[in-house]
Amino acid sequence: MIRFEKQGHIGILTVSRPEALNALNSEALDGLLSTVQKIADDISVRALIVTGEGKAFVAGADIAEMKDLDADAGRGFGLRGQAALSAVEALPMPVIAAVNGYALGGGCELALCADIRIASEKARFGQPEVGLGITPGFGGTQRLPRVIGVSKAMDLILTGRTVKADEALAMGLVDRVVPPDELMPEALKLAGLIAANAPFAVRASKRAIRRFTDAGQTEGLLYEAEMFGECFATNGQKMAMEAFVNKAPKDEFIDE
């Protein structure tokens, strides 16, 4: 489910579960965490590209797996996802997200853990969680406002709307947009520029910039996990995820 290859000093990590649009279930999250832990120890990887197999980058956390969770299990699932994604963010070498398609929910949150984001013109971004009766749970409430600012994060998270690559670029959610067949060449070119620089200085620069963006984030992630868990004790979460899994229309949300 998680593939890793090296091209010289550049690593390429691919989320590969195309039959479910690379949705992150527990197995994929565990694979991601263990792969990332190995990459962290490999000093010869000077830059890492993260991408998805097929037409999606990652279409989110696995809704079928989350559907029947209760509040405790929901909180646990959120913490498990946070751990895997935080490990990506904490990698010592720069990480480039090459966003080839849908980056929704946990997929957008994975892209946010990269240091630089390049999108294909086909990429689509969004945090659709509130339509599923939950909050973003893999770090989106903390990382999205840090990347695009509070009000734009409110817009995306509270509406749950999906944006195309050009709007994502205008919002600052991605750094550049390229035609689909230029995505990997562009990501490799950027990774190559980074990998040609002094490795210690590159890692030290990343660490220093992260000091700035990480301020207050650890506490914020714990609070996010609490909120995410509480959603799993609501009717909205049960109804909306049941509807997605059964390909049925959602009922109207009740006041709760």
Residues marked as catalytic: 109, 129
Among 53, 62, 89, 115, binds ligand CAA (CB under 6 A): 62
Q: Give the interface size with ligand CAA as a residue count (CB under 6 A).
A: 23
Closest CA to 63 of 51, 50, 81: 81
On whether the CB atoms of residues 82 and 221 are closer than 8 A, the answer is: yes
Site string for ligand CAA, 144-183 (x = CB under 6 A): ----------------------------------------
**Segment 32 to 61, residues that bind ligand CAA, using CB under 6 A:** 59-61
Nearer to ligand CAA, 35 or 237 (CB): 237
H-state helical runs in 90-149: 106-112, 140-148
End-to-end Cα distance, the chain: 38
Part of the chain binding ligand CAA (CB under 6 A), chosen from 88-96, 137-145, 200-208, 231-239? 137-145
Around Cβ 67, how many Cβ atoms within 10 Å? 18
C-alpha distances out from residue 192 to 40, 178, 181, 207, 247, Å: 18, 17, 18, 20, 43
125 sits near ligand CAA (criterion: CB under 6 A): no
Determine the length of the chain. Answer: 256
Which residues does 9 contact at the CB level (< 8 Å), separation at least 6?
44, 45, 46, 47, 195
Find the shortest distance in angstroms from Cβ 47 to ligand CAA.
26
Residue among 36 and 69 whose Cβ is closer to ligand CAA: 69
Task: State which of positions 82-121 bind ligand CAA (CB under 6 A).
Answer: 102, 104-106, 109
Nearer to ligand CAA, 46 or 122 (CB): 122
Q: Which residues of 245-255 are buried (b: 16+ CB within 10 A; e: fewer)?
A: eeeeeeeeeee
> Which spans of this chain sit near ligand CAA (rule: CB under 6 A)?
20-21, 23, 59-64, 81, 102, 104-106, 109, 128-129, 132, 134, 136-138, 140
